[in-house]
Chains A and B, each alone.
Chain A
Amino acid sequence: MKFLDHLEEWLIASLMGAATFIIFVAVVHRYLAGLPIPGLQDFLIQINTSWAQELCIYMFVWMAKFGAAYGVRTGIHVGVDVLINRMNPRWRDRFIVFGLAAGALFTGIVGTLGASFVWSIGHTDQTSADMEVPMWLVYLAVPLGSYLMCFRFLQVMVHFIKTGALPKHDHSHVEGLEDELTAEEKGAKA
């Protein structure tokens, strides 16, 4: 289980970094290839970076599907909780379980739809426009990601029923703020 958690985190973080790097390189390449430096220009023009956009899109599609599953585990998906927060705790808990079950149901259905879709295009030779990778490989993210998300919803639900605790993401966390504030206190004392 720990292994799966780490794999998930490692996958989405590196997809994020790699996609940024690829687009950066493609843009820099486009401009450098325009500079009239003998030798370098010829060399750069030979390198083709037209696949960069497509690769970036597919990387983000994978990141989105697995990131959404990670988000369930960390409680990043927000809903409208004004109404249920005003109910008495018993009903509130019931609605929370209902919401999580609905999440599992939806992602389960999407995963199954996705799997059959991938199965059907797996028997064709559809490839992507620029990189010419088989499309079923690209779209495999949907069933895999959705089933993982379904699993995460069930996991959170079981955990909630057992302990009554929900993962909650802090949307207003600011890195390094503590340091700034303690630095100020020290400065005031000195």
Chain B
Amino acid sequence: MNALIIFVLLLALMLTGMPISISLGLTVLTFLFTMTSVPIESVALKIFTGIEKFEIMAIPFFILAGNFLTHGGVARRMINFASSMVGHWHGGLALAGVMACALFAAVSGSSPATVVAIGSIILPAMVKQGYPRGFGAGVITTSGALGILIPPSIVMVMYSVSTNTSVGKLFMAGVIPGMMLAMLLGLTTWFLARKNNYPRMQKASWKERFVTFKKSAWGLLLIVIVMGGIYSGAFTPTEAAAMAAVYAFIIAVFVYKDLKIKQVGKVLLDSAAMSAMLLYIITNAVLFSFLMTSENIPQAMAEWITGKGLGVISFLLVVNVLLLLAGNVMEPSSIVLIMAPILFPVAIKLGIDPVHFGILIVVNMEVGMCHPPVGLNLYVASGITKMGISELTVAVMPWLLTMLAFLGLITYVPQISLWLPNLIYN
């Protein structure tokens, strides 16, 4: 009964359009003042200590690192490199778009920024080459979402914070699914392009490939620093994030020279504001899950579900549907912070691997960003292509279906996610 009141209250508050962090906090306060005997002091303590973990501090550092490299110049370099590699195949420029999105998204860490950066440069070029507008829009909208699966990923840090799963393992687990999804999106593009006979580009020479690679390599090295640092044990994930931020600063200001030194303050301010927003949601989500735990809700749900005889297969199906629905109205970080603490105990009770469960949630978030009526990427893409949402919905369909099929695969074949981390950590 209490669980029902909490959820209805939260849902009602959220639907009024107030910030998600505020609706979480007000739900907790209302419940505490009216219905429970949990002392208010313990809540006050949670407000103070909710984000006092060094692991959480990876989030601001990753945001800062990403913001230094979220720049038109970096996007251009990634596109040049990608088109020199895959441009000569069917649908060359579109394939390059998929690859450039994957690279830029991994480095910048923001899906909407990826759609805008890569899309604004590559879409006009595609139209000029004779591609229909919807084709390019479909490619970029869906490929832009790749970033949260390819490490370093902030959404994965969020999951690890709310479930105490190892960040290192999650990052490793994201590598193969991330590359696989990029390949599947590319394959879909290739088939459509071959069927419709879309233009190919001239094959680049190995020299051109090397030159474009060298230019984009400075940015891509960021991923290597983070992954290598964590894997070799040289850095903790948070330290790796801080090193990545310093590295990104040096590359942006002194190597690429995209950023003037007086613009650095603005990048710091934007990153601080973005991090503060996420940390504020975390603080309130910690309060919320504290309330849930003190009311024994996750445990009760776990028992109820196992008592119903719901097996792994049907539970994961329910999780997917639930997360896809949530993906309609909220952005990934909030969904993970609210849903993960509730669903995680059930998953553990059913014997699902925590890392696999995390990857499953992240893939879900990716699909959620691209599907109508309210995917974030869809909106951003509609902004830069001047296409309506319904028109775009039709345009993204082939890639969206690919993503959904991939989600099914990830859900029921845990080995795709677990093979690499198990190989490395065991």
Contact = CB atoms under 8 A, between A and B. Distances in A.
Interface in B225-250: 235, 238-239, 242-243, 245-246
A80 to B, nearest CB: 5
Contacts of A9: 269
B75 interface: yes
B359 interface: no
A181 B242 contact: no
How big is the A interface, by class? 35 or more
B315 interface: no
A39 interface: no
Contacts of A172: 110, 112-113, 115-116, 380, 383
Given A56-B54, A81-B17, A176 B72 contact: yes
Main secondary structure of the interface of A (DSSP, over half): helix
Interface string B119-145: 011000000000000000000000000
B48 A103 contact: no
Contact of B235 (A14, A27, A85): A27
Contacts, number: 222
Interface in A3-32: 9, 12-17, 19-21, 23-24, 27
Interface string B273-284: 111110110010
Contact of A82 (B40, B243, B329): B329
Among the interface residues B20, B52, B268, which one has the most CB atoms of the partner chain A within 10 A?
Answer: B268
A177 B255 CA distance: 18
Most B CB within 10 A of own CB, among A113, A174, A178 = A174
Interface in B13-34: 13-23, 25-26, 29
B280 A68 contact: yes
A84 B16 contact: yes
B239 A103 contact: no
B121 A181 contact: yes
Interface string A76-109: 1111111111000000000110111011011101
B17 A173 contact: no
Nearest to A30: B239
A64 B268 contact: no
B41 interface: yes
Interface string A55-83: 01100110111111011001011111111
Interface stretch (B57-65, B209-217, B345-353): B57-65
B339 to A, nearest CB: 14
B115 A16 contact: no
Q: Tell which of A20, A24, A76, A98 has the most Cβ of chain B within 10 Å.
A: A20
Given A20-B242, A68-B277, 16 more contacts: A12-B276, A16-B272, A60-B51, A63-B272, A76-B277, A77-B21, A77-B277, A80-B329, A95-B17, A96-B17, A113-B40, A142-B47, A174-B116, A176-B73, A177-B116, A177-B121
Given A80-B330, A171-B112, A177 B22 contact: no
B265 interface: yes
B47 A110 contact: yes
Given A174-B72, A176-B258, A80 B272 contact: no
A57 B277 contact: no
A96 B17 CA distance: 7
B161 interface: no
A106 B243 CA distance: 36
A61 B72 contact: no
Given A19-B60, A60-B60, A70-B273, A174 B70 contact: yes
Nearest to A23: B242
Nearest to B54: A53
Given A83-B15, A99-B16, A175-B70, A20 B64 contact: yes
A67 B276 contact: yes
Given A103-B18, A180-B72, A67 B330 contact: no
